[in-house]
Amino acid sequence: MSSLHIVNKSPLSHSCLDECLSCCQQGDELLLIEDGVLALSSLKPQQLDKLNALGLQPYVLAADVAARGLSTRLLPPFQSCDDTGFVDLCVKHPKSISWF
């Protein structure tokens, strides 16, 4: 049963993303919201490796990216997701797990 993992903390100043990645499995997806979108410009190489190894698609919440002035940093593998997309991801996966 796949999960949507929702992370709202910076990957550099908090362990949330690392803890999340250690619990993910193939088929899961990752949504970065609030300070989590800072990963667009500060993902650690080990974190990127882990994402790739799991084939984990990272989404970033569009409103949070725009608010933080990071729109120009939005590059693959990250994909933008609006609020409707957030709801759709929650519908798609049988459960969501919030990391805060």
Partner 1 sequence: MKFSLLVLAAPYSDQSVGTALRFAQTLLQQGHEIFRVFFYHNGVYASNALSTAPQDEANIPRQWQQLAQDHNIDMVSCIASALKRGVLDESEAQRYDQPCHNLIAGFELSGLGQLVEASAQSDRVVSFGA
Partner 2 sequence: MNKKLLIICRKPPYGNSLAREAIDIALAAGAFEQDVSLLFCGDGLWQLMAEQDSQELALKNHGKALAALPLYGIDDIYVQADALAERQLSQNELLLPVKALSPAEITALIDSADTVLNF
Contacting residues toward partner 1, per CB under 8 A:
6, 8, 33-35, 61, 63, 83-84, 86-87, 90-91, 95-96, 98-100
Least spacing, CB of residue 98 vs partner 1, in Å: 4
Q: Which residues bind partner 2 (CB under 8 A)?
A: 1, 3, 15, 19, 22-25, 94-100
Name which of partner 2, partner 1, none residue 23 binds, using a CB cut-off of 5 to 8 Å depending on partner kind: partner 2
Q: List beta partners, residue 29.
A: 4, 57
Name which of partner 2, partner 1, none residue 17 binds, using a CB cut-off of 5 to 8 Å depending on partner kind: none
Contact 96, 3 (CB under 8 A): yes
Contact 36, 8 (CB under 8 A): yes
C-alpha 49/C-alpha 29 separation (Å) is 15
Least spacing, CB of residue 49 vs partner 1, in Å: 26
Which two three-digit tokens encode residue 7?
A: 């992370």
Name which of partner 1, partner 2, none residue 22 binds, using a CB cut-off of 5 to 8 Å depending on partner kind: partner 2
ω into 11 cis (within 30 of 0): no
